[in-house]
Structure 1
């Protein structure tokens, strides 16, 4: 009986051991098949087919999430939320994240397609030598308007937004830097001004635009313009492009006083668990053919000179998407203002919104 029990026990032990070995073998194989890359990007900011192409080419599963503000994205990464492998912050946020040691340096050897990038969009002040980032898209902040509704107003000055004829017909994008910047530019100040006296002036100046403002809104601006709920809006060129390229009623202008030239770049957060895959993804998006496809879908300006040459002529030569050198001289890139000054901007902008 004792021998029988030992045989049964031995068989059970062997069976359990075999099951365990089988589990771990299958688990490891499964893990290899399910390599993942966590990507954190703005909404509607990549052609879904591009992601599918990357997955097919590499076998890496892309887990894609979106954010609606630089601040939300930075906070999630700073607080060690999901371990994202690639993120797409804007210029001044890259500067903040770089200073806070939230980014991994890029291995340029793993990004050979960087050779296709226009040198004019490289080595920006927010990331000297592109140590931590590669440019993805760029654009401006300007005015889009219905030409049929306002045929006699050029909107080539921020002051045109005060014209009594556009009363309660202007939409402002919901961004403190953008709208405070509008006011600062109209006064002849820098978009990165930190002088409290100038900021107070800008808040007062901003209030003078209030009679024209129908609302301060987000992604619904395009829909409201297309449905004739407003005839004018202040927003980013990329958000305006699908409207003015598909509807001849609309045009887009960067006011003569100056405005913002912004960049969204690709970075690898410090918490990345798939650094090799992250480099593969960045390099893939810089492939000229892939970049052309993605640019046509997103409709923002591409910093990829090789891809730009592949675009349809009407797109690559549109000065509303690719500003002329003359316009570029009037543009500024946002800088990191520090938390105190940024809070001041936000508070003044909030005061403006509450007063509408």
Structure 2
């Protein structure tokens, strides 16, 4: 039994009942009854593996929210900020609550995709620590509420990776060719290359982005796959030995598999990120969405939630309810020197974002040469199609004569 599950077992009264007071000598069966159904369903769009869901006696956050409020939750997941953005920008999304990362929050604010929050409906915002208020990505703190935070590090298989990991350089080591995983999103992958080159995540210098792209292209022959949540299976079964990922997922990998370790590179520094709760523009159930955000900010709910998902809480009141092993674990709550040597992503100017998208396509496809080859192939198919159309028209015309 991991310390997380042991803590939940020992703290059932505090975390499984979650603040529902039970008088001395009374049975927990006397807890307050479920709220009547309100005929409202909110659509929540979150990252995968990013909420406590009731497995093995843990809190089912969404079910408890429905029990207390009578509001049903339709819960779906995404795997990258970019896929979330595509859904919203495409106009076909119908979400009430979304959980983007810091730089994506600022992008969505700038492009008018978020509603301003009514904090009268979110009184539990009082528990958010001062250092997480008015962040760079939402300086007036009108559009978002912090959900969790964390840093990026490297998962490694102890059976095959014996050296100390203090640099991102290990992800370019040829002796691990075919056993290296890489982020399947541009900001995180480019961020690692940028740190190796000594550049900022948020550079607007085209030359620096080109250099980072070249470094990623050099790495590509060594990479087994570009992944997101697939990291869990690939690392757990030994298919891969090295993989950069978010520290919070150490709760899943490290605790459940003694062969897996986690290290935060200290030589170049790392990414510090915050994921935040937001409401998309035009949400059908804004007030109910704010009730949901308020519920997640309840310290007891927040503690039970992060205790399961493994990420760090922006609430000291919630942190005080966590087990000592978690609070003192440098994976979940890194020492200040690591935080001081970290950098956050911010939204990039449109010109830089377009450059990033283009360079990422080149990296994934192997470089400009392969891009040119693909264009040539597509052009060939287009010419063939045009030829067939013209031929059919000429043939039809002759038949009419």
What TM-score comes out, normalization by structure 1 length? Answer: 0.86
User: Equivalent residues in 2 for 1:289-300 (5 A)?
Assistant: 289-300=300-311
- Alpha carbon RMSD of aligned pairs, Å? 2.0
Q: Which range moves more in the overlay, 72-81 or 251-260?
A: 72-81
**Which of 179, 189, 197 lines up with 1:187 in the alignment?**
197
Gaps of 5+ in 1: 1-30
* CA-to-aligned-CA distance 1:269-324 (integer Å, 9 cap, x gap): 22112222111110100111111111122111221221111111111221112221
Taking the aligned partners of 1:201 and 1:299, their CA distance within structure 2 comes to 34
Taking the aligned partners of 1:324 and 1:176, their CA distance within structure 2 comes to 27
Counterpart in 1 of 2:365?
354
- 1:114 counterpart = 2:129: no
Deviation at 1:58, TM superposition (A): 0.7
Deviation at 1:115, TM superposition (A): 1.8
* CA-to-aligned-CA distance 1:190-221 (integer Å, 9 cap, x gap): 01112111111112222333353222223211
Counterpart in 1 of 2:274?
263
Q: Is the contact made by 1:194 and 1:337 (CA closer than 8 Å) also made in structure 2?
A: yes
**Which of 149, 156, 162 lines up with 2:172 in the alignment?**
162
Q: Is the contact made by 2:182 and 2:244 (CA closer than 8 Å) also made in structure 1?
A: yes
Deviation at 1:70, TM superposition (A): 1.9
User: Equivalent residues in 2 for 1:1-356 (5 A)?
Assistant: 33-48=38-53, 49-151=60-162, 153-255=163-265, 256-355=267-366
DSSP-derived class of the 2:256 partner: coil
Deviation at 1:259, TM superposition (A): 1.9
Taking the aligned partners of 1:334 and 1:322, their CA distance within structure 2 comes to 19
* CA-to-aligned-CA distance 1:154-207 (integer Å, 9 cap, x gap): 121112223343232211121111111111100100011121111111122223
What TM-score comes out, normalization by structure 2 length? Answer: 0.76
* CA-to-aligned-CA distance 1:64-100 (integer Å, 9 cap, x gap): 2222222232233344434322111111111111112
Taking the aligned partners of 1:323 and 1:122, their CA distance within structure 2 comes to 20
Q: Work out the number of aligned pairs and report it.
A: 325
Gaps of 5+ in 2: 1-35, 54-59, 368-401
